[in-house]
Structure 1
Amino acid sequence: MAFAPISILIFYVALLWLQHMRVSSALSRNNESDHLALLKFHESISNDPHQILSSWNASNHFCNWHGVTCSHKHQRVTELKLQGYGLRGTVSPHVGNLSFLRNLGLGSNYFHGEIPAELGRLFRLKNLSLWDNALTGEIPINLTSCIELRYLRLSENGFIGIIPNGLGSLRKLEMLHLDSNNLTGYIPASIWNLSSLKVLSVGYNNLEGSIPEEINQLENLIILAIHANKFSGAFPSSLYNMSSLTIISAANNQLNVTQLPHNMFSTLFNLQQFGIAGNQIAGFIPTSISNASSLQLFDIGGNYFVGKVPSLGNLKDLSLLDLELNNLGGSSNSDLDFITSLENCSQLEILSLASNNFGGILHNSIANLSTQLMYLYLGGNQLHGAIPASLGKYLNLIGLSLESNKFIGTIPTSFGKFHKLQILVLQGNQLSGEIPTCLGNLSQLVEIRISENKLQGKIPPIFGKMKHLSSLDLSKNNLSGVIPLQILSLSSLSKLLNLSHNSLNGSLPIEIGTLKALGTFDISENDLSGLQNISVLEYVNVSFNMLDGEVPKEGVFKNASAISVVGYGSFGSVYRGRIESEDKFVAIKVLNLQKKGGGKSFDFECNALKNIRHRNLVKILTCCSSIDYKGQEFKALVFEYMSNGSLDEWLHSLAESVDQPRTLDLDRRFNILYDVASALHYLHCECEQPIVHCDLKPRNILLDDDMVAHVSDFGLARLLSTFNGVPQKQSSTTGIKGTIGYAPPVLEMLTGRRPTDDIFKDGHDLHSYVRTACPNKLLEIVDSALLRKQTQQPSTAVAKEIIMEELIPMHPNEEKAIFSLFGIGLACSMESPKERLNMMDVTRELNQITKVFHSRQ
């Protein structure tokens, strides 16, 4: 009996040990479920350009994989963060098995498809960030089961449908970002119950309705961003009592306010940014705005505010004041009295009063603003009198715009102090006198517009010192003399040189040939001799006298005789000609200027080709922009002649001869694909100004004597500029699209089918045709010309007229190459541009295929 307590103790220890083993076993099984979920996620990634997931292998425990964080105690996945790595694929539904997950961050990648409903299982999830992808479909209602969510960011995708009403049940939600999608409907009423919400951002959608009084229930709201939607009605009065607000952005809606309440700004003491630009707001700016002492940004541009601007002297932290595009002022001398009150705004950097009705004289008091002022925009008003010389005080000025007013007198010599100035716009006034030579001190100038004034005298040579100048407009003045050689030697001029409607004289200097990078050169309405009829000039090597006469079907040129039509484009015909002086054949593309867009096509193609050189791009020899003998405008481009025609002729020719059948074997097609990819890689990644072709199809891929491919026809090319490192589309080709139905030619080269074939209808296309055949039936849809055949002659006399063909099995590496090329073709022809493979990845993968393809024995 004495040992009974010891026996009981042993029993309990054993019981605890068994329980521990049972728990450990369960934890191990759950741990393995996380491992399997991550493997499935990895399988859903089709492209990892930076090899971020290279650590996801068996040699590392999954808790050590890149982007994965696990809990220390149970080794369960609590965080999966892979933002900004360019990953391409879908979000695997197996992520829903990571039951301990608290943070899922996959933003700024190329994920497509829908958000899997299985994410609703993640009841511990606090942060879901899927912004800047290509996700589509509706926002799944299942996400409302993630009751711990604090941060939900789904912006910059392609979501459609309504905002789920159930999001209002996420009582702990602090930040809701749904901006830049295609959402419709109303902001659900349940959202106004989220008292923890600090950020509500739904800009750039198609939402409608009004903002209700219940918004004041969002007592912790800091940012309200509803810009670029279809919201209407007035802001609720309760909004003005929300002292937590620091940013209101309601630009570009259909808001219509007759008059902002006078107590609005007095209650927003913590307001830092207030942007309601681009709405339909009418009324006065209330005097109580002066009570918003913490205001830093005040932007009400593009509305219907009227009357005088009240004193803003209490806004000492104001850095931006934008009142442009309203109906403020009334052409009275007191319109600008409020500027005196801005003297207390010591942080003011941007002041825009452009496009209003401000009248009166611009007094010297304008010079009492902050010395930090960088941009001053007063254009499009009714200001008159002389431009104050005291403006020269603003040594940090970058942009000065005084255009379309009634200023008189001379350009102040004090402007020579603007050593940081990049933009100077004075056009559309009544300025007189000569162009002051002190402007030569402005070495940072990029754009000068002083047209439509009464300036006189000779154009000084000062502009030759401005090494960054890309646009110079001195047209419609009374300037005289010859064009200074310093201007014609300015290599930075690339957008505009407009000297028209003056009294310039003399012959056109030979130095004009250095302006090949220039987009527009207008010297019309002067007394210059030489190429006086050319107003849009990219290349000046050829005038109409060298390409004389009409161009009928059997078109005949004077010095470049057209022999035959070799092609037709969207905006003209291409002729084979011969430059007799050089005894060489050329291709002459004559634009049909009667067709809408023909003239622009010429300009776009010149802009695209003027500075690019690559072995796989068609080489432009020269161009002509002139007047024919009938006095009609004539434009033509002269290219190197490609003797083997277009890729389209080789893929789809119906005129094959027995002696010279026009077929392309796999080797030739691969080489052509590589040539085209090299050209596009150059255009997208290596040009100083990237270029997107916009109409790449076999007809625009030309083959020379050695069957080397050259990309041609840049009439629809889209130029991309870069602003602060971000590509921006130029407006020159906005809205222009290429040939309907056409996509990158990889799939057409592999299948032999045009994207416009009759079999592609009812929503089907070449892309879906290939995708359906993946992976097991790809060889069934390959162009039969790629399948090597051998001919056998039957031995029997009866069958001696019958020719039998037998397919020769492909080398395994050839099959691998074809499969890989199909993969590239599918990735390059995705409907959404964001989902497509970029050219750096294309060339990288083609190089890998080359190693496999050329390793055949």
Structure 2
Amino acid sequence: MSYLGVLSSGIVWLSLSTIFISIPLATSDDHENDRQTLLCFKSQLSGPTGVLDSWSNASLEFCSWHGVICSTQSPRRVASIDLASEGISGFISPCIANLTFLTRLQLSNNSFHGSIPSELGLLSQLNTLNLSTNALEGFIPPTLLNASHLSLLYMRNNSLTGLIPFFGSLKNLKELMLSYNKLEAADWSFISSLSNCSKMTKLLIDGNNLNGKLPHSIGNLSSSLKWLWIRDNKISGNIPPEIGNLKSLEMLYMDYNLLTGDIPPAIGNLHNLVVLAVAQNKLSGQIPDTIGNLIKLTDLKLDRNYFSGGIPVTLEHCTQLEILNLAHNSLDRRIPNQIFKISSFSQELDLSHNYLYGGIPEEVGNLINLKKLSISDNRLSGNIPSTLSQCVVLESLEMQSNLFAGSIPNSFENLAGIQKLDISRNNMSGKIPDFLGNFSLLYDLNLSFNNFDGEVPADGIFRNASVVSMEGNNGLCARTLIEGIPLCSTQVHRKRRHKSLVLVLVIVIPIISIAIICLSFAVFLWRKRIQVKPNLPQCNEHKLKNITYGDIAKATNMFSSDNLIGSGSFAMVYKGNLELQEDEVAIKIFNLGTYGAHNSFIAECETLRNVRHRNLVKIVTLCSSVDATGADFKALVFQYMRNGNLDTWLHPKDHELSQRKALTICQRVNITLDVAFALDYLHNQCATPLIHCDLKPSNILLDLDMVAYVNDFGLARFKCNRLTANQDTSTSLPCLKGSIGYIPPEYGMSKDISTKGDVYSFGILLLEIITGRSPTDEIFNGSTTLHEFVDRAFPNNISKVIDPTLLQDDLEATDVMENYIIPLIKIGLSCSMPLPKERPEMGQVSTMILEIKNSASHRHVRSSYDLADSIS
């Protein structure tokens, strides 16, 4: 063998020997490297005693340390770290990136803080990264996109900020959970990138700061996507119809956002959907019938939106429903019988706070598994069906604020598991059943404001005043002292006196009646000969000159149609000239043949006798006499307002006055302030506070200087008693009448009126002044209200709903919008809130409008407007 051959053989052998020798050395180094890396990772941590104690045991192989799992094949390397829910705090050390064989890092539900180290992107074998429920801050490192094997990425419940990276490069990504951080989206383009993740099944980005509109590309997400959670963000705009492309979707949470528009019918394509939640948005329109295609639904939550129309009958196909919540919408039809045939309901059926009417179908007895039924705050009527007692697992039954009548069914004795029963504010009557006292689980029984009578049961829960509410039932009595309810002995005594009185009246009334008839006939003959003025309430603090029917006939040119300037429910209004009266007057002649007209005359007289303010219409005199035929004749005479009423200015085309110049923004502010001052006076400064009850543009008169005067007190009502300035009071007004569109919603639910009702009417009036649209405009057509119409556009699209003439004012459009319109609309929306307690009182309102006038329109104040004289 040559030298070269020997040398060559030696080199080869030496090389092979070196290789074989170096293998165990390299293995030993890597093994020690993993051990040192774990110790480095531990050095930044602290935790409860015992959790990481094994990590300090030098005699124990690290593969046996708590939470550490190594690979099975040799050489053994760290493959997984699982320290979830161990109470550990500290930082995630970047040195963990040295565990090059790591496939799973599970650190959730601890107290890790600081930022996520960018070095985690070096873990090329990482499959699962779970950092949820810690206190991590900062950005999600883009280097994570280098971990190409990443399949499960969980970072929920931290304080991460910044933009969501484009995770589309992680082709193996199946589950991405970033919920409840402070993440943002620049333009939602990260959604488009996720369309590359063909294996994705769960996408949870709820509870962040995501805003803007959902992109149509959301429909390009993986066809295998099962969970899509985007709830609790600030997402606006419409729901893209492309969402119907996600055919595998099982859970869709879009609630607690700012979504508008309707639910696209394409939602019916999601045949595998189990949960659909779009509650707490600003969605409107009708609930699509295609929702009935979602036959696997168990949870359907559409509450707190602006949905109108009826409940889709097609829901009868959703036979697995356990929860249906449609509360706080504007649904306004009968409840379909088919809804009560869905026996799968087990958790909740909530239809409250809508405008549903009609009775409860007998089929309600099919809900045998239901725990909570709420149909409160609607317009439901009729008797409570006895079949409701078949729902024996009911724990909560809420039926308050409807129009239910009749008695509590005896079959309710079967509802022994009931915990809350509220049927207050209805027209229920009869006795309170004794068996209610035996319901041992009942902690809230509200029977208040009905017509129940008789003796209150004395046993069981009725011994605990904190559990039972019964006020507002005047026919009830009690054996023992119960606040607000008289003792039965007193009640019996009253009944006896009542019977005695009845006997007396039965004898006396026929005699008195005959005498009255004779006397009435004599009076009639006498009145034919001479006109008289009865002793009626005077309409001012000064005695008024009496005028006769003849005076008024002459003043109006025998009630000529040329002099007719207005008409209402109870009266016609003419302009005319009275003798000895220098200025023209407006004469309101009551049509006493109309039911309620006489009471309207008396109410208006009583009101005008007690009030005096520069923004309330002033009365000149009255006439209470008989006409030429001897029939009663009543009229009120007011100062004549040459600029008519506000309605003719806001809607000139409706009054054939299309050539009339539009109101400027400054005039509208002044008119609004005048009306606010008048209401503040009526509510807070009168000797006896007064509720107007019929505030609308046609009842606002304008003089030559465009000063506004509140008019027409025919429905006004005084408060029953005086309270402190911070308290409100209400009174009962049977058969309340007013004007559709301006009547507050609570008046349709009960008979209680309050100053907050006037505040609501003022809010609608203010919105009408700014938008130029009447609350009864055809565009609303029962599907929405003026308040909702403006609220949806506020503030970003408000220019689309305001009166276009406002932006043609002498002032700059930007100045008008920022300094006048936006602040006024805020006030109008707050005054017209559905709940009375959410509305301000008129003292606050007038102050806010005065601030707007003083701060933004000081150069355009009317020269004749004397602010010191605004409040008399």
State the alpha-carbon separation in 2 of the partners of residues 171 and 31 from structure 1: 31
**Aligned pair partner of 1:320 in 304, 318, 323:** 323
Contact 1:477/1:501, CA 8 A, preserved across alignment: no
Contact 1:301/1:326, CA 8 A, preserved across alignment: yes
Partner of 2:54: 55
State the alpha-carbon separation in 1 of the partners of residues 23 and 238 from structure 2: 60
State the alpha-carbon separation in 2 of the partners of residues 153 and 441 from structure 1: 51
State the alpha-carbon separation in 1 of the partners of residues 211 and 483 from structure 2: 49
Q: Shift of the alpha carbon at 1:359?
A: 0.5
Q: Name the SS of the counterpart of 2:24 in structure 1.
A: helix
Change (3 A) 1:8 1:185: closer
Q: Name the SS of the counterpart of 2:97 in structure 1.
A: helix
State the alpha-carbon separation in 1 of the partners of residues 174 and 260 from structure 2: 29
Change (3 A) 1:348 1:315: farther
Change (3 A) 1:434 1:154: same
Change (3 A) 1:461 1:27: farther
Is the counterpart of residue 242 in structure 1 residue 239 in structure 2?
A: no
Partner of 1:25: 25
Change (3 A) 1:359 1:81: same
Change (3 A) 1:22 1:296: same
Change (3 A) 1:69 1:423: same
Contact 2:439/2:461, CA 8 A, preserved across alignment: no
Q: Shift of the alpha carbon at 1:184?
A: 2.4
Partner of 1:105: 106
State the alpha-carbon separation in 1 of the partners of residues 75 and 466 from structure 2: 63
Give CA-to-partner distance per residue, 1:780-800, whole Å, 9 cap, x none. Answer: xxxxxxxxxxxxxxxxxxxxx
Which of 1 and 2 has higher RCO (CA within 8 Å, sep 6+)?
2
State the alpha-carbon separation in 2 of the partners of residues 30 and 93 from structure 1: 18
Q: Which has the larger radius of gyration?
A: 2
Contact 1:305/1:327, CA 8 A, preserved across alignment: yes
Superposition map of 1:521-540 within 5 A? none
Change (3 A) 1:28 1:412: same
Q: Shift of the alpha carbon at 1:345?
A: 4.7
Q: Shift of the alpha carbon at 1:100?
A: 1.1
Partner of 1:201: 204
Contact 1:443/1:466, CA 8 A, preserved across alignment: no
Q: Shift of the alpha carbon at 1:38?
A: 1.2
Partner of 2:460: 463
Give CA-to-partner distance per residue, 1:760-787, whole Å, 9 cap, x none. Answer: xxxxxxxxxxxxxxxxxxxxxxxxxxxx
State the alpha-carbon separation in 1 of the partners of residues 473 and 415 from structure 2: 24
Is the counterpart of residue 361 in structure 1 residue 382 in structure 2?
A: no
Contact 2:242/2:266, CA 8 A, preserved across alignment: no
Change (3 A) 1:40 1:341: same
Contact 2:462/2:468, CA 8 A, preserved across alignment: no
Q: Shift of the alpha carbon at 1:460?
A: 2.3
**Aligned pair partner of 1:303 in 302, 305, 314:** 305
Is the counterpart of residue 385 in structure 1 residue 387 in structure 2?
A: no
Q: Shift of the alpha carbon at 1:464?
A: 4.2
Partner of 1:718: none
Change (3 A) 1:449 1:96: farther
Give the RMSD, CA atoms, in angstroms.
3.1
Q: Shift of the alpha carbon at 1:20?
A: 3.2
Number of corresponding residues:
483
Contact 1:387/1:408, CA 8 A, preserved across alignment: yes
Contact 1:476/1:500, CA 8 A, preserved across alignment: no
State the alpha-carbon separation in 1 of the partners of residues 203 and 234 from structure 2: 16
Q: Shift of the alpha carbon at 1:415?
A: 1.9
Partner of 1:818: none
Superposition map of 1:362-761 within 5 A? 362-367=360-365, 369-464=366-461, 471-478=467-474, 479-481=476-478, 483=480, 500-503=483-486
Change (3 A) 1:138 1:8: closer
Partner of 1:738: none
**Aligned pair partner of 1:274 in 267, 273, 276:** 276
Gaps of 5+ in 2: 490-723, 727-872
State the alpha-carbon separation in 1 of the partners of residues 345 and 16 from structure 2: 70
State the alpha-carbon separation in 2 of the partners of residues 403 and 74 from structure 1: 72
Partner amino acid, structure 2, of 1:315: C
State the alpha-carbon separation in 2 of the partners of residues 75 and 185 from structure 1: 42
Partner of 2:34: 34
Q: Shift of the alpha carbon at 1:164?
A: 1.9
Partner amino acid, structure 2, of 1:474: M
Change (3 A) 1:224 1:465: same
Give CA-to-partner distance per residue, 1:228-258, whole Å, 9 cap, x none. Answer: 111112122221122111111100111112x
Change (3 A) 1:65 1:466: farther
State the alpha-carbon separation in 1 of the partners of residues 352 and 326 from structure 2: 7
Q: Name the SS of the counterpart of 1:160 in structure 2.
A: strand
Q: Name the SS of the counterpart of 2:307 in structure 1.
A: strand
Q: Shift of the alpha carbon at 1:15?
A: 5.5
Partner amino acid, structure 2, of 1:35: R
State the alpha-carbon separation in 1 of the partners of residues 485 and 28 from structure 2: 86
State the alpha-carbon separation in 1 of the partners of residues 247 and 451 from structure 2: 53
Contact 2:455/2:488, CA 8 A, preserved across alignment: no
Q: Name the SS of the counterpart of 2:459 in structure 1.
A: helix
State the alpha-carbon separation in 2 of the partners of residues 463 and 59 from structure 1: 69
Give CA-to-partner distance per residue, 1:819-856, whole Å, 9 cap, x none. Answer: xxxxxxxxxxxxxxxxxxxxxxxxxxxxxxxxxxxxxx
Contact 2:321/2:342, CA 8 A, preserved across alignment: no
Contact 1:240/1:263, CA 8 A, preserved across alignment: yes
Q: Name the SS of the counterpart of 1:136 in structure 2.
A: strand
Change (3 A) 1:365 1:466: farther
Give CA-to-partner distance per residue, 1:249-285, whole Å, 9 cap, x none. Answer: 100111112x3333431x2111111111111111111
Q: Shift of the alpha carbon at 1:632?
A: 15
Give CA-to-partner distance per residue, 1:568-627, whole Å, 9 cap, x none. Answer: xxxxxxxxxxxxxxxxxxxxxxxxxxxxxxxxxxxxxxxxxxxxxxxxxxxxxxxxxxxx
Is the counterpart of residue 292 in structure 1 residue 275 in structure 2?
A: no
Normalising by structure 1, report the TM-score.
Answer: 0.53
Contact 2:440/2:461, CA 8 A, preserved across alignment: no
Q: Name the SS of the counterpart of 1:392 in structure 2.
A: helix
Moved over 6 A (4+): 4-14
Partner of 2:131: 130
Contact 2:140/2:165, CA 8 A, preserved across alignment: yes
Q: Name the SS of the counterpart of 1:383 in structure 2.
A: strand
Q: Shift of the alpha carbon at 1:505?
A: 9.5
**Aligned pair partner of 1:340 in 334, 338, 341:** 338
Superposition map of 1:75-224 within 5 A? 75-165=76-166, 167-186=167-186, 187=188, 188=190, 189-218=192-221, 219-224=223-228
Change (3 A) 1:6 1:365: farther
Change (3 A) 1:71 1:5: farther
Contact 2:437/2:457, CA 8 A, preserved across alignment: no
State the alpha-carbon separation in 1 of the partners of residues 49 and 343 from structure 2: 48
State the alpha-carbon separation in 2 of the partners of residues 79 and 185 from structure 1: 32
Q: Shift of the alpha carbon at 1:451?
A: 2.5
Partner amino acid, structure 2, of 1:354: S
Q: Shift of the alpha carbon at 1:420?
A: 2.0
State the alpha-carbon separation in 2 of the partners of residues 352 and 96 from structure 1: 52
State the alpha-carbon separation in 1 of the partners of residues 8 and 440 from structure 2: 95
State the alpha-carbon separation in 2 of the partners of residues 413 and 295 from structure 1: 35
Is the counterpart of residue 253 in structure 1 residue 257 in structure 2?
A: yes
State the alpha-carbon separation in 2 of the partners of residues 30 and 68 from structure 1: 16
Normalising by structure 2, report the TM-score.
Answer: 0.52
Say which structure is richer in helix: 2
Contact 1:439/1:462, CA 8 A, preserved across alignment: no
Q: Return 229-238 or 62-71, whichever deviates more.
A: 229-238
Change (3 A) 1:370 1:121: same
Q: Shift of the alpha carbon at 1:315?
A: 1.2
Q: Name the SS of the counterpart of 2:317 in structure 1.
A: coil
Contact 2:461/2:467, CA 8 A, preserved across alignment: no
